C-alpha cells in the first residue's frame, strides 16, 4: 500500500468540549505521521468554499454555519493508505452506527456533532490539504 496524505479536522464540537488532545492521541496511536497542524477559525465564507461540493445539498447551510461556529484543528496526516485508514479511525458519520473504539463512536454525539472530518478520496485530499496548507507547510 502506498504512502498517502489526507486532511483531518477536529470539528468545533470536539474542540469546544476539550477533546482535541484525545483526538490527537488517537491519531498518533493509529500510526499516522502529523505532517502539519494548525488551529484556526473558519469564516462562514471559508466554510462555504471548503464545502462548495455540497452547495446544492439541503444540509449545506447548517454544515457551514456549524463549521464556522468555533475553533477547529486541521491536520495533514501521512501513512500507508492514509485516506482509508483515517476514515476507519474516525468511524461512520453517524456515531450510533460507527464501530466500537472509533473516534466518532466514542466521542461524537450526533451526525452533525461527530467530532472529525476526513478526506474521502485522493482528489478530495489534494483539494482539502491545499485549502488549509501552503505547499511549503507540507514538506
Region 48-63: what's the mean pLDDT? 96
Nearest residue to 82 via CA among 38, 130, 125, 127: 125
Residue 45: pLDDT over 90: yes
End-to-end CA distance of the chain: 21
**Helix, strand, coil shares, percent, the chain, to 5:** 45, 20, 30
Query: With a threshold of 0.75, does the pTM exceed it?
Result: yes
pLDDT tens-digit series, residues 8-22: 999 999 999 999 999
Is the Cβ–Cβ distance between 83 and 119 less than 8 Å? yes
Q: Which CATH architecture has domain 3-40+72-134?
A: 2-Layer Sandwich (3.30)
pLDDT of residue 1: 85
Residue in 14, 36, 117, 132 annotated catalytic:
117
Read off φ and ψ for residue 59, nearest 5 degrees.
Answer: -90, 0
pLDDT tens-digit series, residues 90-117: 999 999 999 999 999 999 999 999 999 9
Q: Is 54 a catalytic residue?
A: no
Please, where are the H alpha helices in 7-121? 12-16, 20-29, 44-50, 60-67, 82-90, 103-107
**What is the C-alpha to C-alpha distance for residues 95 and 44, in angstroms, rounded to an integer?**
25
| β-sheet with 3-10: strand ranges across | 33-41, 71-80, 3-10, 116-118
Amino acid at each position: 500500500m502506498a504512502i498517502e496524505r489526507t486532511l483531518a479536522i477536529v470539528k468545533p464540537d470536539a474542540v469546544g468540549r476539550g477533546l482535541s488532545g484525545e483526538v490527537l492521541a488517537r491519531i498518533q496511536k493509529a500510526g499516522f505521521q502529523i505532517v502539519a497542524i494548525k488551529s484556526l477559525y473558519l469564516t462562514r465564507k471559508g466554510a462555504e468554499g471548503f464545502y462548495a461540493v455540497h452547495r446544492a445539498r439541503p444540509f449545506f447551510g447548517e454544515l457551514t454555519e456549524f463549521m464556522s461556529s468555533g475553533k477547529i484543528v486541521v491536520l495533514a496526516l501521512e501513512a500507508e493508505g492514509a485516506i482509508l485508514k483515517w476514515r476507519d479511525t474516525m468511524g461512520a458519520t453517524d456515531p450510533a452506527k460507527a464501530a466500537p473504539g472509533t473516534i466518532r463512536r466514542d466521542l461524537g454525539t450526533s451526525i452533525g456533532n461527530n467530532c472529525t472530518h476526513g478526506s474521502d478520496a485522493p482528489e478530495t485530499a489534494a483539494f482539502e490539504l491545499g485549502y488549509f496548507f501552503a505547499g511549503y507547510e507540507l514538506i
